[in-house]
Amino acid sequence: MLRSLLVANRGEIARRVIRTGRRLGIRTVAVYSEADVGLPFVAEADEAVLIGPANPAQSYRNIEAILAAAKSTGAEAIHPGYGFLSENAGFARAVVDNGLAWVGPGAEAIAAMGDKINARNLMAAAGVPVAPGTTDPATSADAALRAAEEIGFPVMVKAAAGGGGMGMAVADDAERLRAEYDKVRAFAERMFGDGAVLIERYFPRVRHIEVQILGLADGRVVALGERECSVQRRNQKLVEETPSPALTAAQRAELLAAAVRAGEAVGYRNAGTVECLFDPGAGRFYFLEMNTRLQVEHPVTEAVFGIDLVEQQLRVASGLEPTFDPDALAVTGHAMEVRVNAEDPKRFLPGPGAITTWVEPGGAGVRVDSGYTAGNTVTPNYDSLMAKLIVHGADRAGALAKLRTAVAGFEVAGPKVNLPFFAELLDNPEFVSGDYDTGIVARMREVKK
C-alpha cells in the first residue's frame, strides 16, 4: 500500500480522501489556496502546503505548484478528487512522469473519454447504445442545422469537451438551434479551450442513470450498481439515489453489462462512472459520457455495498486486489444523497457568506461529508457545494423518511442554503412515487408560479 498521498483538491472531497488515508495509515498532504487557509481539510491532513491565491488557475489548477508540493513533502501519490485537474490527461501524465503514483485511470483513458464525440464513437464500436447524434464536430451553425434535421428536433447542443453539465442547451427549432450553437461554442472555447460542438437527440422525458465502475489492478472491470441522478437544475445534479426506482432487474443487468463493456473498451483502471440517459417509455438507455474520476455521489454506492471506494482506488493504484469479492457483490437496502449548496433554494443562484451556525444531523444510517463548519466562510471563488447528506435505509421508503428527518435537523446560517428546496422535494408526490425524470425541478417551480 502507498505510504503517503497528496490530495490535489479542497473542501469535502479532500476531507473524504484524508479520512480514508488516515484509517489506512497513509500520511496525507493537503494543498490549499489563500482563500481556504481556515477550512477543516487543511488542519486534518498530516501536512499542508499553501500553493497560491484564491484563483483556481493559480492554485488548484496549477500543475507546477502541486507537483512541487508533492516533491517537497515526499508524497508518493496524488489523488485528484473531482473537478479541477481530476480529468486532465496532461496532469495525470505529468504525475507519472515525475515518478509518482496517479490515483485514477491512465492518461490515455482520460483523453479518450474527455472528448464526448470520440467517446460516443468508441462506445458505439464497443456495442454500447448511444443516442442518435453526430460522429464528427458540427463546425458551423449550418452544419449543426443539417445534423439536427437528420436526427430530428428537439436536439441537445453540447460542448464536446468539459463536463459537469456545463456547455449544454436544448433547441426545438432551427432559429433556437442557431442561437444556442453560437452560445455553446463560445462558452466551450472560453471554459475548455475547445469550441467543438456535437448535436444529439434530446429526450424530453428522460432519466439520468449512471453506473459506478472500478477497473481492478488485474485488468478486470466490475460494475458496482447504478445511481439515479435525475433531480437536476441546469443539467447539474442535486439528489442521487441507489438502486434506481426506474429499472427492472433485466434492464439493470443490461445497463451494468454495457458499462463494463465501456470500461473494457478503453482499458479502464481505477474508479469511474458511465453516465446514461434512460427513456422509461421505450425502456431503452443511451450512453451519455464517462467521468474518469470519483463522483460527488459515490457515498450512496458505498452505503449499499459496504465498500470504501477511496480505499479501492488506493489499492488499485498500489497494484493490490480489492477488499471485496467482485463475483459476490450484493446490494443491501437503499441510499439517498442530497447536495447541500450555498445557494438560493428558489432560483439556485450562489449565496456565499460567513457561516455563523453549522449543526449536522446524526443517527444510525446518516452520514455527512462536509467541507465547512461554523466560523468558515463560503467564498465565491469555487463551487457552492458545502456538504453532502447521505442516508441509508432498509428500503426506499425507509431511506426517504430518514432523509426527511436529517434535512430538517441540518442547521446552517450565514450563507444562503438549499435545504428548504430538499424539504419541498422530499414531500413532492412525483419524487415520493419514484416515477420522476430530469424535468421534475422545472415542474415544481412551474407549479409555484
Q: Which three cell numbers stand for residue 109?
A: 483513458
Burial class (CB in 10 A: 0-12, 13-18, 19+), 364: exposed
Who contacts 288 (Cβ-Cβ below 8 Å, separation ≥6)? 131, 208, 275, 276, 277
Is 261 part of the annotated catalytic residue set? no
Which phi and psi angles does 249 have, rounded to 5°? -60, -40
Contact indicator for 407, 345 with CB cutoff of 8 Å: no
Q: How far apart (Å, rounded) are the C-alpha atoms in residues 125 and 431?
A: 36
Contact indicator for 310, 389 with CB cutoff of 8 Å: no
Q: How far apart (Å, rounded) are the C-alpha atoms in residues 346 and 267?
A: 43
Grid cell 508518493 — which residue? 76
Which of 358, 347, 366 has its CA nearest to residue 411? 358
Q: How far apart (Å, rounded) are the C-alpha atoms in residues 150 and 144?
A: 10
**For residue 324, what are the CA distances in angstroms to 22, 24, 103, 214, 270?**
20, 16, 19, 12, 15
Q: Provide the strand spans (E) within 4-72.
A: 4-7, 27-33, 47-52
Q: How far apart (Å, rounded) are the C-alpha atoms in residues 375 and 354?
A: 7
Q: Which three cell numbers stand for residue 126?
A: 464497443
Contact indicator for 67, 98 with CB cutoff of 8 Å: yes
Instruction: Give 3-state DSSP helix, strand, coil % of the chain, rounded to 5.
Output: 35, 25, 35
> CB-side exposure of 346: number of CA atoms within 13 Å?
4
Q: Is 363 helix (H, G, I), strand (E, B) or coil?
A: coil
Which phi and psi angles does 57 have, rounded to 5°? -60, -25
Find the DSSP H helices in 210-341. Answer: 249-265, 298-305, 309-317
Catalytic member of 15, 16, 293, 339: 293
Query: What is the gyration radius of the CA atoms in the chain, in angstroms?
Result: 21
Catalytic residues: 293
